């Protein structure tokens, strides 16, 4: 049986503010979205955990940006898990859902019994913001450090934005009465604004000189920040994941002395931007000779979306800047072939 709380809060992000301390935040719950992402791939347990963590971070961070198109998180390392990527697409209309997708590449032979984060090795955590055509994309990068991807996300905000930010996340497979086992995830993001900017060139107190919240906040603002995070540290994993505890009830339980105030929730769903036209656009830079090297023994060029698993097949003659037919197989004129 599906509970009322589950119906109301699964696959949502709820913004809130703690009026007493001036701390803002978000509570995210992913159920169907995360199950959709992970069911597309047969990930080993540590890889699935990392994909779940990045998907949840994307759901929490995406709505904090005045986003017109896409926010991406990319993690790259030299370990067994080479790449983890997730995208958050802003709602196309007021009141509409945002879309999330996520994916990872890994070397199964190199996976071992270490914690998932250690399977990535040395590398970087990046956030990319693309506001669409006519706007220059923004990218912020921080090294992998501090033992988790959520800690890396907090370091990114401290380093790149000088905005103290923390995350408490939980994810895993669970089974509700009468339902099959499925993935669920939940988390809370806390964020405040710095009292004054610091000189990033001086470095901070974190690992390898990275800036942390303690380097930015002072006095009463530091006390408010520490108090809010102490209260959040009392949360239980199942309170984060739900569905028996609604996000509104969770905020009252954790922060009732901080006077929590909530705003309209944002719905999220799985969504992928891949299409045949996008694949054609990607291959447009290649010559006919290059396209021949990509052609299978069956006489087609194939492509698979790493995010959603969609499979595409193309006539080689319709691809590249020397294409001789269009997508429908119609012959191109001499001018179109050259153009």
pLDDT for the residue numbered 164: 92
The residue among 195, 206, 72 whose CA lies nearest residue 141 is 72
pLDDT for the residue numbered 2: 39
Higher-pLDDT residue of 217, 247: 247
Residue 206 clears pLDDT 80, i.e. is over it: no
pTM for the model:
0.84
How far is it, in rounded angstroms, from Cα 158 to Cα 331? Answer: 55
pLDDT for the residue numbered 27: 97
Mean pLDDT of 159-185: 83
- Three-class DSSP labels, the chain: CCCHHHHHHCCEEEEEEECCCCEEEEEEEECHHHHHHHHCCCCCHHHHHHHHHHHHHHHHHHHHCCCCCEEEEEEEECCCEEEEEEEEECCCCCCCCEEEEEEEEECHHHCCCCCHHHHCCCEEEEEEEECCCCCCCEEEEEECCCCCHHHHHHHHHHHHHCCCEEEEEEEEEECCCCCCCEEEEEEEEEECCCCCCCCHHHCCCCHHHCCCHHHHCCHHHHHHHHHHHHHHCCCCHHHHHCCCCCHHHHHHHHHHHHCEEECCCEEEEECCCCCHHHHHHHHCCCCHHHHHHHCCCCCCEEEECCCCCCEEEECHHHCCCCCCECCCCCECCHHHHHC
pLDDT for the residue numbered 128: 94
């Amino acid at each position: 049986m599906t509970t009322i709380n589950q119906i109301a809060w699964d696959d949502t992000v709820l913004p809130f503010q703690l009026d007493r301390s001036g701390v803002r935040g978000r509570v995210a719950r992913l159920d169907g979205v995360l199950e959709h992402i992970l069911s597309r791939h047969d990930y080993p347990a540590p890889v699935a955990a990392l994909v779940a963590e990045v998907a949840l971070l994307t759901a929490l961070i995406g709505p904090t940006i005045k986003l017109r198109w896409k926010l991406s998180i990319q993690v790259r390392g030299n370990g067994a898990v080479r790449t983890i990527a997730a995208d958050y697409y802003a709602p196309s209309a007021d009141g509409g859902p945002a879309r999330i997708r996520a994916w990872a590449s890994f070397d199964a032979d190199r996976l071992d019994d270490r914690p998932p984060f250690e399977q990535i090795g040395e590398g970087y955590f990046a956030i990319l913001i693309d506001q669409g055509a006519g706007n220059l994309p923004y990218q912020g990068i921080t090294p992998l450090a501090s033992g988790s991807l959520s800690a890396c996300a907090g370091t990114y905000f401290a380093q790149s934005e000088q905005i103290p930010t923390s995350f408490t996340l939980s994810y895993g497979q669970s089974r509700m009465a009468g339902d099959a086992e499925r993935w669920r995830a939940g988390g809370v993001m806390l964020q405040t604004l710095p009292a004054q900017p610091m000189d990033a060139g001086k470095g901070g107190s974190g690992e390898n000189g990275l800036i942390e919240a303690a380097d930015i906040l002072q006095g009463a603002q530091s006390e408010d920040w520490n108090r809010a995070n102490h209260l959040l540290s009392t949360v239980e994993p199942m309170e984060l994941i739900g569905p028996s505890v609604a996000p509104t009830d969770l905020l009252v339980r954790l922060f009732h002395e901080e006077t929590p105030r909530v705003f309209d929730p944002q719905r999220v769903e799985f969504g992928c931007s891949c299409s045949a036209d996008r694949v054609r656009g990607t291959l447009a830079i290649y010559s006919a000779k290059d396209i021949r090297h990509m052609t299978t023994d069956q006489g087609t060029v194939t492509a698979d979306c790493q995010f959603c698993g969609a499979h595409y097949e193309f006539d080689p003659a319709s691809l590249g800047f020397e294409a001789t037919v269009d997508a429908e197989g119609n012959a191109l004129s001499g001018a179109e072939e050259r153009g």
